[in-house]
A and B are shown apart, each in its own frame.
Chain A
Amino acid sequence: MRTGAPQANDAQPALLGNGAPLRPEIQERDLQRQERFEDELIMDLERDQFVAETSRPVPPAVLSTRVKAGLWALRVFVVIVSLMVIYTFIDQLH
């Protein structure tokens, strides 16, 4: 596991322990290492698995009138039965 490696959104100017900036060639090497690390990580995800991909909505399905009517009938039925259960629950409290 490569948990100690830098992350993409952590990309800050590299500093030494005393707060002084690193030499440019070291910064460059770190950036290259980070890019290589990210490339390796990308290899482990499927294309449609990235957050950028899953954030895209799927197209809506076209439901027939009969299916829509069936879904609404089930919905109304379930709401009515739920109200009966809630009424019974409140009635039991008294």
Chain B
Amino acid sequence: MSTSEVAASPLLGQPLGQPRLTDEDLARSRDRSRVHHARRHSRHWYLLWLLVGPGILAMLGENDGPSMIAYAADGAQYGLGFFVPFIPILFVMAYVCQEMCMRVGAVTHRGYGELVLQRYGRVWGWFGAGDLTLTNLVTLVAEFVAIRVGLAYFHLGAGVAVALGLALVAFTLSGGRYWRWERIVLGLALFNGLFLVAAILVKPHFGAVAGSFDFSPFPGGSFNTLLLLLASTIGATVTPWMIFFQQSASADKGMTPRDVKHGRYDTAAGAVLAAIFGIGALIAGAALLGHGGAGIEGFAGAGFPEALSHVAGGAVGTVFALGLIEAGAVAILTISASTAYAAGECVGVSHSFNSSPRNAGVFYAANAGIALLAAAVILIPGAPLLSIALNANVLATVLLPVSLVFMVMLANDRGLMGAWTNRRSTNVIGIAVIAFVGLCGAAYGIDSFLQAIHLVGS
């Protein structure tokens, strides 16, 4: 055993005798041996390369199809003001939440779902898993729609979108190793930078971009529209699946308390990249301001890529369409993985990419099953895909506060976390984030409902 690493968690610090080794242990141990080797030989950059992954994947996975469309729509409707500074603030919020997930996963070596279920009771564990499954299914439908929108620019149909998404899921699941899965998805996720390329290609006025950091002009329109913008933009940045995913992936990767510093670098790098690429989509969308961009219904046909190719040139349209395909594809992989982790953890069976499909049947079935289900929905003729896609982020925002409250409780649980519990400042920011997210989500939900039943005017 590694004697240099003391058990960080008081409750988890009384191990059994000689444990029975599984294939999962052996695979994880191989990854850890490289980490130890890099650390012993002070190979800092290689160590960082080995330890990055869950944070970048969570953040770039959330820069998904609906999110990038939402950013582009914000730019097309309101221009750069307000949203250019608002997006980085949201990713700072996301960093605070995701750092907690990474830390709890590294210290306890357990996923969010199983800790909530075991520590706070089955009811809360299953509620969390139920929320996750609902929001993930809706979001996955939106991801397939995003791929379809991107492919429509190249005159390819829904069948190709489904085949592409499912083929990627099958390919990434076929390796039987967490490391392989992570590196493939990480490689794909870096193509999220296409949105930055699109932003550069529209030749923005950099003075205007820098000048927009004064939060003006504030978006106009009705109170409900503003609430929808806030709720959907928050839902484009922090969501329940990210919480499940990063904690479980950190544990699956084999991270330990000694890796928390690198886990923070990983999460911060993910937040910075996601904010830059998100602003890239916003700037690209802003090229349509004054060119009828506000009238584009986000998912009606190939609206944005087509409109961008008319206004800013074919290259911008092509890059934006490819970006949408990438954003949808990466999100399908990460969101399916979060569902699989939650299913395995709540059922109490093996839940790791390091396990074979035979040993972790529930994990692999949930991973492929939810992707299949979402793919089936977009093939239904006349299905309300536009409404589903637009409501996906809002529903995630509404359900998020409960997940965040349990996250903060876990990160403050001295029995689990020992010396790695939250600092007071982290708790203050965490509670402020919960209050802000809860207020925005609830205000939009209540206001929209009152309008729907005609108790207030629109």
Q: Which residues of A contact B (CB under 8 A)?
A: 1-3, 7-9, 38, 40-54, 56-61, 63, 71, 74-75, 77-78, 81-82, 84-89, 91-93
Contact = CB atoms under 8 A, between A and B. Distances in A.
Given A44-B2, A51-B350, A81-B445, A8 B26 contact: yes
B177 to A, nearest CB: 10
14 contacts: A9-B22, A42-B1, A43-B1, A44-B30, A45-B1, A47-B7, A48-B109, A49-B28, A54-B109, A61-B415, A78-B398, A86-B395, A92-B452, A93-B384
Contacts of B23: 7-9
B121 A85 contact: no
Given A84-B445, A87-B449, A60 B32 contact: no
Contact of B452 (A45, A75, A81, A91): A91
A59 B415 CA distance: 9
A49 to B, nearest CB: 5
B174 interface: no
B395 to A, nearest CB: 6
B175 to A, nearest CB: 12
B446 interface: yes
Contacts of B442: 77, 81
Given A60-B121, A78-B398, A44 B19 contact: no
Contacts of A82: 395, 398-399, 445
Contacts of A9: 22-23
Nearest to A7: B26
B118 interface: yes
Given A1-B34, A41-B29, A46 B256 contact: yes
A89 B395 CA distance: 10
A74 B402 contact: yes
A41 B33 contact: yes
Interface residues of B, number: 62
B15 interface: yes
A78 B34 contact: no
B398 A58 contact: no
A2 B29 CA distance: 11
B2 A58 contact: no
Interface string B215-259: 000000000000000000000000000000000000100101000
Contacts of A41: 21, 25-26, 29-30, 33
A76 to B, nearest CB: 11
Contacts of B35: 44
Given A38-B21, A42-B21, A46-B1, A3 B28 contact: no
Given A61-B413, A88-B452, A93-B384, A50 B25 contact: yes
B13 interface: yes
B429 interface: no
Given A82-B398, A87-B452, A42 B405 contact: no
B387 to A, nearest CB: 6
A47 B451 CA distance: 57
B289 interface: no
Nearest to B391: A89
B267 interface: no
Nearest to B394: A85
A45 B1 CA distance: 7
